[in-house]
């Protein structure tokens, strides 16, 4: 289900989602709004559910060129590319009482492609494992709630990028 929303909220009832994802969302938000969305994701996740998100990391070598491009673009209407430190993610997990399950670095192969596909710019991605379905999504984290057990949804979560909370 996709719901368009202009606020740092997830407009659905509590405890209904098996899996909440944020791909290329936190890369464009302030820390305060990232935290608000993570708190909302925890609220809507079922016990044992997962929250996955991608983020830009200064320590991830492929992201440095994006940082340089961002510096070079001085236009006021430019796209904001927000980098998040792993220490920030770890602080948020403590504040939200969730446990980090895994952080995937840019060189990690974490997206299992079940079939080949072509990007809109003509590049091809083959079957097997890829570091990303999108090069800008090459760092991520899996987190899980410390209050609930890991459920079978991990098999799905493990094939994606991002930060996953299990709640």
Which of residues 152 and 57 earns the better pLDDT score?
57
Residue 39 lies in a domain: yes
Q: What is the pLDDT of residues 37-81, one digit of tens each?
A: 999 999 999 888 888 888 888 888 878 888 999 999 999 998 889
In a domain, 7, yes or no: no
How far apart, in whole angstroms, are the C-alpha atoms of residue 1 and residue 12?
Answer: 11
3-class secondary-structure state, position 36 = helix
pTM across the whole model: 0.70
Residue 81 domain flag? yes
Pairwise CA distance, residues 101 & 93, whole Å: 10
Q: Please report whether residue 146 resides in a domain.
A: yes
Per-residue pLDDT band at 164 (split at 50, 70, 90): very low
In a domain, 9, yes or no: no
Query: Whole-number mean pLDDT of the chain?
Result: 74
Helix H, strand E, coil C: the string for 72-139 is HCCCCCCCCCCECCHHHHHHHHHHHCEEEEEEECCCCCCEEECCCEECCCCCEECCEEECCCCHHHCC
12 within some domain: no
61 is a domain residue: yes
Distance between the two ends of the chain, CA-based, in angstroms?
19
46 found inside a domain:
yes
Domain with 25, as residue range(s), is 17-157
- Give the number of domains in the chain: 1
């Amino acid at each position: 289900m996709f719901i368009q929303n202009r606020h740092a909220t997830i407009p659905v009832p509590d405890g209904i989602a098996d899996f909440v994802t944020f791909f290329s969302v936190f890369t464009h938000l302030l820390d305060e709004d990232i935290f608000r969305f993570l708190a909302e994701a925890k609220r809507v996740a079922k016990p044992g559910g997962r929250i996955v998100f991608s983020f830009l990391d200064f320590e991830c070598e492929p992201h440095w060129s994006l940082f340089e491009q961002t510096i070079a673009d001085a236009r006021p209407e430019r796209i904001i590319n927000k980098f998040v430190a792993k220490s920030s993610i770890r602080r948020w997990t403590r504040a939200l009482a969730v446990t980090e399950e895994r952080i995937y670095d840019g060189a990690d192969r974490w997206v299992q492609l079940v079939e080949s596909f072509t990007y809109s710019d003509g590049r091809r991605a083959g079957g097997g494992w890829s570091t990303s379905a999108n090069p800008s999504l090459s760092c991520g984290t899996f987190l899980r709630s410390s209050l609930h057990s890991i459920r079978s949804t991990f098999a799905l979560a493990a094939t994606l990028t991002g930060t996953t909370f299990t709640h």
